[in-house]
Amino acid sequence: MIFFINKANSFISELSDIDTEKLTSEKDTEINGITTYFNSNHYKQNLLLKDIGFHIKLMLSEFDNGKIFIDRLDNVESNKIITNKGLKEHLLDINHLFISFLNEYRK
């Protein structure tokens, strides 16, 4: 149990250190007369958050009742995945919920 609590706390710490950037439009390229907008900082940060999410899934898969939390992790509301802030909050929520569950489970 302690391993899972420590690991979840390390994810919380790692996520807390990320200063999420708002999705801002910056002119990137023009293709066939259509301007595409892209914020590379937002994209890089999104990849980092998704990588942390993957590692959280790995941790949860090692826990006997982890599937419940994996399902919750995968069922993120579509409006949360649009912004890095929403994704970060979702990942933090899952970790806090998991730690609360583990603390109750230990009693």
Q: Which two tokens stand for residue 86?
A: 């929403």
Predicted model pTM: 0.79
**Total domain count, the chain:** 1
Q: What pLDDT is recorded for position 15?
A: 97
Q: For residue 98, which of 43, 54, 58, 56 has the smallest C-alpha distance?
A: 56
Q: What pLDDT is recorded for position 22?
A: 58
Its domain, for residue 11, covers 2-106
DSSP letters for 8-60: HHHHHHHHHT--PPP----EEEEETTEEEE--HHHHHHHHHHHHHHHHHHHHH
Q: What pLDDT is recorded for position 55?
A: 97
Q: pLDDT tens string for the chain (107 positions)?
A: 899 999 999 999 999 999 886 555 455 555 555 545 556 777 788 889 999 999 999 999 999 889 999 999 988 765 556 678 889 999 999 999 999 999 998 77
